[in-house]
Chains A and B, each alone.
Chain A
Amino acid sequence: MDQTIKFTIDGTIVTTQKGLTIVEAAKDNGIYIPTLCNFEGAKPKGCCRMCTIKINSRYMTACTTPAADGMEIESNTEEITDIRKSIIELLFVSGNHFCPACEKSGNCELQALAYKYQMLVPRFPFIFPQKGIDASSPRLMKEQNRCIACKRCIKTIKDEEGRNYFAYKNRGYALEVILDPELGKDIPEDLAKLAMENCPVGSIIYKEKGFDEPIGSRKFDKTPIGSEIEV
Chain B
Amino acid sequence: MSQKITIEPVTRVEGHGKVTIYLDDHGNVRESRLHIVEFRGFERFVQGRPYWEAPVLVQRLCGICPVSHHLAAAKALDVIVGAGTGDGLTAVGEKMRRLMHYGQFFQSHVLHFFHLSSPDFLFGIDADPAIRNIIGVIQENRELAVQGVMMRKFGQEVIRLTAGKKVHGTGAIPGGINKNLSIAERDELLKGPDPLNADKMVDWSVAALDFFKSYHKNNQKLVDEFAVFPSNHFSLVRKDGALDLYHGVLRAVDTDGKKILHDVDYQDYDQFIEEEVKNWSYMKFPYLKEFGKEYGWYRVGPLARLNTIDFIPTPLAQKAFEEFKAYTNGKPNNMTLHYHWARLIETLHSAEVIRDLLNDPELQNDDLTVKGIKKHRGVGLIEAPRGTLFHHYEVNDDDQITLCNLIVSTTNNNEPMNLAVNLTANAFMNGQREITEGMMNAVEVAIRAYDPCLSCATHALGKMPLELTLIDNKNIIIDRKNK
Contact = CB atoms under 8 A, between A and B. Distances in A.
Contacts of B170: 211, 214-215
A23 to B, nearest CB: 34
Contact of B165 (A136, A213, A216): A216
A210 to B, nearest CB: 3
A132 B400 CA distance: 12
Contact of B56 (A133, A136, A211): A211
A2 interface: no
B439 interface: no
A103 interface: yes
A205 B50 contact: yes
A216 B170 CA distance: 10
A172 to B, nearest CB: 25
Given A101-B56, A211-B178, A135 B400 contact: yes
B48 interface: yes
For this complex, into which size category does the number of interface residues on chain B fall? 20 to 34
A45 B368 CA distance: 42
B60 A214 contact: no
A209 interface: yes
A141 interface: yes
Contacts of A210: 50-53, 55-56, 173-174
A160 interface: no
Nearest to B168: A100
B399 interface: yes
A100 B56 contact: yes
Interface string A98-117: 00110100000000000000
Given A100-B168, A101-B60, A103-B53, A212 B399 contact: no
A211 to B, nearest CB: 4
B52 A211 contact: yes
A207 interface: yes
A211 B400 contact: no
Interface in A25-63: none
A208 interface: yes
Nearest to A209: B52
B57 interface: yes
Interface string B52-77: 11011100100000000000000000
A212 B173 contact: yes
A208 B179 CA distance: 17
A225 B90 CA distance: 36
A197 B238 CA distance: 43
Contacts of B165: 215-216
B241 interface: no
Nearest to B52: A210
Interface string A193-229: 0000000000001011111111110000000000000
B369 A141 contact: no
Interface in B164-189: 164-165, 168-171, 173-174, 178-179
Identify the interface centre among B51, B55, B60, B178: most chain A CB within 10 Å of its CB.
B178
Question: Would you call the interface of chain B mostly helix, strand, loop, or mixed?
Answer: loop
Given A100-B168, A208-B52, A214 B178 contact: yes
A103 B174 CA distance: 13
Interface residues of A, number: 19
B50 to A, nearest CB: 6
Nearest to A216: B164
B398 interface: yes
A136 to B, nearest CB: 6
Contacts of B171: 214
B52 A103 contact: yes
Given A213-B178, A215-B165, A100 B50 contact: no
B400 A208 contact: no
Nearest to B165: A215
A225 B166 CA distance: 25
Contact of A135 (B168, B173, B178, B399): B399
Contact of B169 (A101, A141, A215): A215
A214 B181 CA distance: 12
A141 B398 CA distance: 9
Nearest to B368: A212
B169 A100 contact: no
A100 B178 contact: no
A147 B170 CA distance: 24
Contacts of B57: 100-101
Contacts of A216: 164-165
Contacts of B51: 210
A212 B60 contact: no
Contacts of A135: 50, 398-400
A100 B52 contact: no
Contact of A133 (B48, B60, B173): B48
A166 B60 CA distance: 33
Interface in B338-352: none
7 contacts: A101-B56, A135-B50, A141-B50, A207-B399, A209-B52, A210-B50, A214-B170
Given A101-B60, A208-B52, 4 more contacts: A100-B168, A133-B50, A136-B398, A207-B50
Interface of A: 100-101, 103, 132-133, 135-136, 141, 205, 207-216
5 closest A-B pairs by beta carbon, nearest first, are A210-B52, A135-B398, A101-B57, A211-B170, A214-B164
